[in-house]
Amino acid sequence: MQGGDALGPQTANIVVTAGALLVLLLVALLIRRLGDPLERYVDTITADATQSILFTVAAVATAWFLLERWEAAGSFVEALGNPTVDPAKTGALGLVAGLIVVVAYTLTRISKTLLVERDGDIITGHRQEAFYHVAQLTIYLATLLVLLALVGVNPRDLVLSAGALGVVLGLAARQTLGAVFAGFVLLFSRPFELGDWVVMSDREGIVRDISMFNTTLRTFDDEHVIIPNDEVTSNDIVNRSRMGRLRVSVEVGVDYDADVGRAVSLAEEAMAGLDELMETPEPRVVVARFGDSAVVLDCRFWIANPSAARYWQARSAVVESVKSRFEEAGVGIPFPQRVLSTRPDATFEADVDAPGPESGRPRPESDGAAGGGA
* The predicted structure's pLDDT at residue 270: 94
Confidence at residue 348, expressed as pLDDT on a 0 to 100 scale: 53
**Res 166: pLDDT:** 59
Averaged pLDDT in 10-residue chunks for the chain of 374 residues: 50 74 78 75 70 74 72 53 51 67 75 59 54 71 72 59 57 63 74 88 87 86 89 88 91 92 94 91 93 92 92 94 93 77 61 54 51 44
- Supply the pLDDT for residue 328: 92
Q: Are residues 235 and 250 in the same domain?
A: no
Last residue of a domain, one of 156, 182, 202: 156
Strands (E), the chain: 197-200, 203-210, 214-218, 224-228, 237-239, 245-254, 284-290, 295-304
Exposure letters 17-52 (e unless 16+ CB within 10 A, then b): beebeeebeebbeebeeeeeebeeeeeeeebbbbbb
Q: In the prediction, which pLDDT does 1 show?
A: 42
pLDDT at res. 7:
46
CATH of the domain at 299: 3.30.70.100
User: Does the model's pTM come out above 0.85?
Assistant: no
pLDDT of 337 reads 67
- So what's the pLDDT on residue 116? 56
Determine the pLDDT at residue 373. Answer: 45
> What is the C-alpha to C-alpha distance for residues 256 and 198, in angstroms, rounded to an integer?
39
pLDDT number for residue 367:
52
**CATH value at residue 201:** 2.30.30.60
Could you list the residue range(s) of the whole structural domain that residue 66 is in? 9-156
pLDDT of residue 374: 39
Task: Answer whether residue 290 is part of any domain.
Answer: yes
Structural domains of the chain, count: 3
Say whether both 37 and 149 belong to one domain: yes
Q: State residue 277's pLDDT score.
A: 94
In a domain, 361, yes or no: no
